[in-house]
Structure 1
């Protein structure tokens, strides 16, 4: 099996290192000091499950790699539309793209029966730019339940979790999913193949849609948001509205709001990725988390006043932040 990891950051390098340890031919696409460290020292994974170091190939030029069986996307979803130069040299007729993203994916309605089959969400696929770059038929969905961070160039700190749920948009159990799952499990990761990954997407989204924008607006950790009575109430309202949208689309995630809150509180003084991006002066990944669900609410006629209010102020924050970067 030949795999290219596009965006070999914390999650991408962790997955690439695990697959390499299992015997797959892995190529990491990276840049800057991280790439230099990967080339010189390999990937060093520091984990409560045991540290290890591996030496997969690393490059900044996907043309050096050529066509692969699987592309694992470790990029933020707001980079997908512009990822063509990184992804296209890696594709052959049957190359699958494993998209490890938060939020609502661009392929959400691909292969989904019902009156919204094939519907394109403007917030996640503006003008069809993502679908043109990453055709939905290539997509394998992936919901990440692992937490990792780059401790230093070439060094990945694995904090918790090893589960990467994957699934086909059309709900089939395909050979390509089974083969990728087997390789991930051989590398020490959990990788169940789900017949409807959309339920997992909504479960993960319950936390991201609420904690991520609030953390950026309040500059607060997850535990601080949970401990503050009014923001805890706000999160509860956002989660409730999100579940109502999911139900209108036929998804019924099997998790209670209180259980989701309790899990978030256990994470402790953790800064969400959105808050970290804000502090580093990066664009905020809010379209797939928040704007997409507001768009889905419009599509289904669902009343989501809390989501709309938070979306308005978070979008303004993102716009003012983006202007300051120019």
Structure 2
């Protein structure tokens, strides 16, 4: 069995940690606060339908305490990854792969591509390229609706999940097949030759649900009951397809399937969860960077532009009101 560290034991990271630990792997998690304390004291509890179990995992807020790992899976939010790059190095042997599983455009997206957008810096100051490096990086796109319901307790909404692994440079490598063998059957891993296709397929869902749920504080299923909001969702989906096509990624014509899935979703997307918990949002990776790509390619995105402007104004106003009612410091 392998030594596997989950760097960032939020909802998705905790699901992965629980399932890998139950499969017999030696799992460590980087966590913090009450979640860290609960895992240390009571173990990590997982539930999905009738499947409920608790596992013991090594938990710390200091990567240096965990030692070198066979695999590192980074599930931090996109805007926090770079700040943890140096700390993550303590987990790495010379050939330890790092699987990056984030929503939005990943930091490695333009690596090895003939196209780039000057205004988009997915790796500020080259921190991740320097401390982690592209050669050890593996891309990962996860479809696993989940939520931390309390410290030490993670719930997966529905038992189905998909984990797509791919090399940033494309193709199916021996390393990918080895990782697939290692992580399965604990996680339903699929190796893909073009991980950027999966990036855009997930982006299309994330962008649509994040924009509308964040503005309305509503679940996707409730939004889809409103015909005007459903039309806005349809327009966002179409605009994302057009942006992807401008960068040679052809998404399938399954708009109705995506809308149907949203209509059935009673799960709060991660951006809505972060908003309600007063945590920073993945605005840059999920929304602003994609808008910049559209503008660079000359793709018209009126619906995305309007909804994003409303989201940004909401965040500005919320910060201003929160500051106005904050108690004075002493």
TM over 0.5: yes
Quote how far apart the aligned CAs of 1:223 are. 1.5
Residue of structure 2 in register with 1:276 after alignment:
273
Aligned-residue offset at 1:127: 4.3
Conservation of the 8 A alpha-carbon contact between 2:86 and 2:131: no
Q: Sort the Cα spacing of 1:14 and 1:34 in 2 relative to 1 into closer, same or farther, 3 A.
A: same
* Equivalent residues in 2 for 1:116-195, closer than 5 Å: 116=115, 122=120, 124-160=122-158, 161-187=160-186, 189-195=187-193
**In terms of mean alpha carbon deviation, does 150-159 or 101-110 score higher?**
150-159
Query: Are 2:242 and 1:226 equivalent residues in the alignment?
Result: no
Deviations 1:28-54 (A, max 9, x none): 111222112212222221123622222
Q: What are the within-5 Å matches in structure 2 for residues 31-46 of structure 1?
A: 31-46=32-47
Between the aligned partners of 1:316 and 1:136, the Cα distance in structure 2 is 36
User: Which deviates more from structure 2 when the two are superposed, residues 250-259 or residues 284-293?
Assistant: 250-259
Find the aligned partners of 2:302 and 2:107 in 1 and give their Cα distance: 24
DSSP 3-state at the match of 1:169 = coil
Match of 1:13 in 2: 14
By how many angstroms is 1:104 displaced? 1.3
**3-state SS of paired residue (2:264):** helix
How far apart, in 1, do the equivalents of 2:253 and 2:182 lie? Answer: 29
Q: Which residue of 2 aligns with 1:293?
A: 290
1:29 paired to 2:30: yes
- How many angstroms does 1:241 deviate by? 0.8
Q: 1:306 aligns with which of 303, 308, 311?
A: 303
Aligned equivalents of 1:107, 1:125: Cα separation in 2: 8
Contact 1:8 1:30 in 2 (8 A): yes
CA RMSD after TM alignment: 2.2
Q: Quote the Cα distance in structure 2 between the aligned partners of 1:73 and 1:248.
A: 29
Aligned length, in residue pairs: 321
1:134 Cα offset (Å): 4.1
Cα distance change of structure 1 residues 127 and 11 upon mapping to structure 2, 3 Å threshold? same
| Matches of 2:255 and 2:185, distance apart in 1 | 34
**Does the 8 Å contact 2:85/2:128 carry over to 1?**
no
2:243 matched residue in structure 1: 245
Deviation digits for residues 234-272 of structure 1 (CA, Å, limit 9, x no counterpart): 11111111101111111112242111111111113x332
Assess if the C-alpha contact under 8 Å between 2:220 and 2:268 holds in 1: yes
Deviation at 1:123, TM superposition (A): 5.3
Aligned to 2:61: 60
Counterparts in 2 of 1:50 and 1:121: CA distance versus 1, 3 Å = farther
Asked whether 1:90 is paired with 2:87, we answer no
Q: Distance in 1 between matches of 2:296 and 2:161?
A: 35
What stretches of structure 1 of length at least 5 have no aligned partner? none
8 Å contact kept, 2:219–2:265: no
* Structure 2 contact 117–296 (Cα < 8 Å) conserved: no
Tell me if 1:206 matches 2:204. Answer: yes
Q: How far apart are residue 89 of structure 1 and its match?
A: 1.4
Conserved? CA contact 2:5–2:29, under 8 Å: yes
Distance 1:98 1:154, change over 3 A: same
Q: Does 1:318 align with 2:315?
A: yes
Residue of structure 2 equivalent to 1:51: 52
Distance 1:237 1:321, change over 3 A: same
Name structure 2 gaps, 5 residues minimum: none
Distance of 2:170 and 2:185 partners within structure 1: 24
TM-score by length of 1: 0.91
Question: Secondary structure in 2 aligned to 1:258?
Answer: helix
